[in-house]
C-alpha cells in the first residue's frame, strides 16, 4: 500500500503544491484515482494530466504510462473519443517501449473501447485481443473476461457469430477459472445470444437456464428478471410460445415494479407475440388492447424502432389470416420509418416479409425486385433471418410454378 493512500484529501492537496516533484506527482496521481472512483471525470482528467507531465520530467516512465492511460479513461468517459485515442495510443507505446505488461493491458482495454466508440471495429477487436492476453498473463482475470466479452460483442455487430461465440466462451472459461460465478453467468448469457443468431435455440436455452439458475442462487434480482425476459424471448424465437408465457409475465411484472417501463414494454411485446402465435380466439380482445397500449407507450417514449416492431406483429397476424393487402401496407410503412431512423436490420427483415405477402398477392415481379434489394452478406451469420429469406425464395419458386402451370417431374 502506498503511503499516499493513508492521507486525507486535504493533505494530498497540500502535497500537490510541494517543491518536491516526486511528492507532487504522486499526490496528484492519488487524488486523480480518488476522483476517478467518484466518477468526477473532468477533475480526474486534469489531475492525471498534471501528474503525467511531472512523471515525464522525472523519467518515471511506468508511472507516466499509468497516469496517461488513466487520463485516457477519463477522456473516454467524457466521450472525448479522439483525444482519448491519442492518449491511450501514447500510453500503449510507453508500455511497449518499457515492456511493462500492466501499462500495456490497462492501455489496451480502454483503447479497444475507444476504437469501438469511433466505429473502428476491426482495430478494436485486435486491441481487445492484446488486452485479453496481457490481463490473463497478469492474472487480472476480471479485466481479461470483460475485454473478451467486449470483443465478442463487436464480432456480433460485424455478423461474425462464430467468432463472437468463441470470444464469449473464452470469457466464460476465464471467469470460471477465477471462481467468478457472476462473470461466468454473464458470459453464458452472451453465448446464448451468439447461438440464437446461429439458429441453435436448444443450446441457447440451455445456457440461459444455467445463467438464470446461477443468478437465482446468488439472489441478484436485476439479473434474474433480465434472464427471465431472455428466456421467454428465446422461447418465442424457438416457436415454443406456450413456455414463453410464464417467464415473460414475470419479467413484465418485475420491470414495472422497478419503474423500468421501456423494458417492461419490450417484455410485453414478446409476450404479445407468443400469445398471438398461440392463436387463442378467447384472447383476441385482450391482445388488441395490449397492442394499442404498447404502441402508444413506445410512441410517447419516442422509441420509434419499437413502434415498428409492434406494427410488424400486427402485420404478421394479418398475414396469418390472409389479409395480405393490409399486411403489405404496414410493411411498407415500417420500411419507410426504419429508413428514417436508419435501422438496417429492420429494413431488411421487413422487405423479406413484404416480398412474402406480395407473392401471396400474385405480384411476383415486384416481390422479386424487393428480394433483389436484400444482400445476404448484410445478415452475416444470422441464421434465423437467412432461413426466413430462404423461405421467401422458396415461396417465390412455388408461386412461379403455380402461375405458369408447370408440372415439375417427380424427382426433379
pLDDT (tens digit per residue) in 210-233: 999 999 999 999 999 999 999 999
The mean-pLDDT minimum among 149-153, 247-251, 350-354, 386-390 falls in 386-390
Q: How far apart are CA 264 and CA 252, in angstroms?
A: 5
pLDDT exceeds 60 at position 60? yes
pLDDT at residue 135 above 90? yes
- CA–CA dist 16, 198 (Å, integer): 56
Burial readout 38-63 (b: 16 or more C-beta within 10 A, e: otherwise): eeebeebbbbbbbbbebbbeeebbeb
Given this structure, which CATH class describes domain 306-405?
A: mainly alpha
CA distance 392 to 236: 20
pTM score: 0.80
CATH architecture of 1-138: Alpha Horseshoe (1.25)
Helices (H), 16-138: 21-37, 41-57, 61-77, 81-98, 101-117, 121-137
Q: What pLDDT shows up at residue 57?
A: 92
Question: DSSP characters for 64-88?
Answer: HHHHHHHHHHHHHHTT-HHHHHHHH
Q: Are 228 and 213 in contact (CB under 8 A)?
A: no
d(CA 71, CA 36): 10
Query: Which of these ranges, 84-93, 140-149, 247-256, 265-274, has the smallest mean pLDDT?
Result: 265-274
Measure the CA–CA gap between 233 and 290, rounded to whole angstroms: 17
**273 CB-near residues (< 8 Å, 6+ apart):** 236, 241, 313
The DSSP 8-state label assigned to residue 7 in this structure reads S
User: Quick check: 408 pLDDT over 50?
Assistant: no
Return d(Cα 374, Cα 369) in angstroms, integer: 9
Amino acid at each position: 500500500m502506498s503511503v499516499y493512500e493513508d492521507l486525507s484529501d486535504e493533505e494530498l492537496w497540500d502535497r500537490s503544491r510541494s517543491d518536491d516533484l516526486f511528492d507532487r506527482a504522486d499526490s496528484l496521481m492519488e487524488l486523480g484515482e480518488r476522483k476517478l472512483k467518484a466518477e468526477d471525470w473532468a477533475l480526474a482528467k486534469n489531475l492525471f494530466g498534471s501528474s503525467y507531465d511531472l512523471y515525464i520530467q522525472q523519467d518515471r516512465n511506468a508511472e507516466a504510462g499509468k497516469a496517461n492511460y488513466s487520463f485516457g479513461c477519463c477522456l473516454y468517459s467524457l466521450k472525448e473519443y479522439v483525444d482519448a485515442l491519442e492518449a491511450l495510443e501514447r500510453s500503449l507505446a510507453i508500455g511497449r517501449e518499457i515492456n511493462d505488461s500492466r501499462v500495456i493491458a490497462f492501455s489496451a482495454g480502454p483503447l479497444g473501447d475507444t476504437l469501438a466508440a469511433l466505429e473502428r471495429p476491426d482495430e478494436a477487436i485486435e486491441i481487445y485481443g492484446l488486452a485479453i492476453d496481457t490481463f490473463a498473463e497478469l492474472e487480472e482475470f476480471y479485466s481479461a473476461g470483460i475485454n473478451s466479452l467486449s470483443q465478442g460483442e463487436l464480432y456480433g455487430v460485424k455478423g461474425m457469430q462464430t467468432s463472437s461465440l468463441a470470444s464469449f466462451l473464452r470469457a466464460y472459461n476465464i471467469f470460471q477459472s477465477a471462481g467468478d460465478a457472476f462473470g461466468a453467468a454473464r458470459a453464458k448469457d452472451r453465448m446464448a445470444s451468439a447461438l440464437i443468431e446461429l439458429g441453435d435455440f436448444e443450446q441457447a436455452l440451455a445456457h440461459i437456464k444455467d445463467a438464470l439458475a446461477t443468478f437465482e442462487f446468488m439472489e441478484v434480482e436485476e439479473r434474474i428478471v433480465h434472464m427471465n425476459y431472455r428466456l421467454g424471448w428465446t422461447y418465442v424465437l424457438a416457436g415454443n410460445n406456450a413456455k414463453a408465457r410464464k417467464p415473460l409475465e414475470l419479467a413484465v411484472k418485475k420491470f414495472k415494479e422497478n419503474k423500468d417501463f421501456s423494458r417492461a414494454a419490450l417484455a410485453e411485446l414478446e409476450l404479445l407475440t407468443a400469445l398471438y402465435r398461440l392463436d387463442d380466439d378467447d384472447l383476441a380482445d385482450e391482445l388488441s388492447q395490449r397492442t394499442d397500449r404498447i404502441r402508444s407507450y413506445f410512441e410517447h417514449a419516442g422509441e420509434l424502432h419499437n413502434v415498428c416492431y409492434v406494427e410488424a406483429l400486427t402485420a404478421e397476424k394479418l398475414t396469418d389470416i390472409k389479409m395480405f393487402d393490409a399486411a403489405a401496407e404496414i410493411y411498407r410503412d415500417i420500411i419507410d420509418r426504419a429508413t428514417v431512423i436508419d435501422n438496417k436490420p429492420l429494413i431488411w427483415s421487413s422487405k423479406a416479409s413484404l416480398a412474402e405477402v406480395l407473392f401471396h398477392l400474385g405480384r411476383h415481379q415486384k416481390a422479386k425486385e424487393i428480394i433483389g434489394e436484400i444482400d445476404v452478406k448484410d445478415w452475416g451469420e444470422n441464421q434465423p433471418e437467412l432461413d426466413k429469406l430462404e423461405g421467401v425464395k422458396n415461396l417465390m419458386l412455388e408461386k412461379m410454378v403455380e402461375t405458369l402451370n408447370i408440372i415439375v417431374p417427380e424427382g426433379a
